């Protein structure tokens, strides 16, 4: 099993939105960064665990856990001219953008804030904390996964 972190703005799609979906599962769409797409397409496997991170909000931080419910498949929003994720260069016969289905596992009792994560020495090297990192999907080492769980 591998470990991941996925960022989302709670005003767009938060952990409570995922929890409220049928079967507590949703397609993770709209990723338009090649490296993040590659992580989903080439790395994420069914059953992998995901930290759900709220970004661009008053208290950014890790808010819960999800898991990969279905491995990568084409993101149809890329072909929909009415979608904010539309990509006119994307071709349904040769899709560029992918997404995965994610399933709610549990919500943390509290937000593990970005400041708290930065203050934890054992999280040195944690991809989320690297200066300038803006990826919405990133791998998490097993060591860092376990430290975050201890902090909860």
Interatomic CA distance for residues 125 and 123, integer angstroms: 6
3-151, CATH topology level = ph1033 like fold (3.10.590)
Residues 6+ apart with CB under 8 A from 132: none
Kindly report the backbone phi and psi dihedral angles of residue 135, in degrees, each rounded to the nearest multiple of 5, phi listed first. -65, 140
Q: Are 130 and 92 in contact (CB under 8 A)?
A: no
The answer, as to whether pTM is greater than 0.85, is yes
In the structure, how many helices (H) and strands (E) does the chain have? 4, 6
Percent of the chain with pLDDT over 90: 96
Give per-residue pLDDT as tens, 113-152: 999 999 999 999 999 999 888 899 999 999 999 999 999 9
């Amino acid at each position: 099993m591998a470990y991941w972190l996925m960022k989302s703005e709670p005003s767009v799609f938060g952990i409570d939105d995922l929890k409220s979906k049928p079967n507590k599962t949703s397609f993770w769409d709209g990723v338009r960064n090649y490296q993040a797409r590659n992580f989903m397409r080439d790395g994420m496997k069914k059953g992998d665990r995901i930290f759900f991170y709220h970004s661009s909000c008053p208290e950014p931080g890790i808010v819960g856990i999800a898991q990969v419910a279905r491995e990568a498949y084409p993101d149809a929003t890329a072909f929909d001219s009415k979608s904010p994720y539309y990509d006119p260069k994307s071709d349904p016969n040769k899709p560029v953008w992918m997404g995965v289905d994610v399933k709610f596992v549990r919500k943390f009792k509290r937000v593990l804030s970005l400041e708290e994560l930065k203050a934890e020495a054992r999280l040195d090297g944690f991809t989320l904390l690297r200066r300038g990192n803006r990826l919405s999907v990133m791998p998490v080492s097993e060591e860092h996964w376990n430290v975050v769980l201890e902090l909860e």
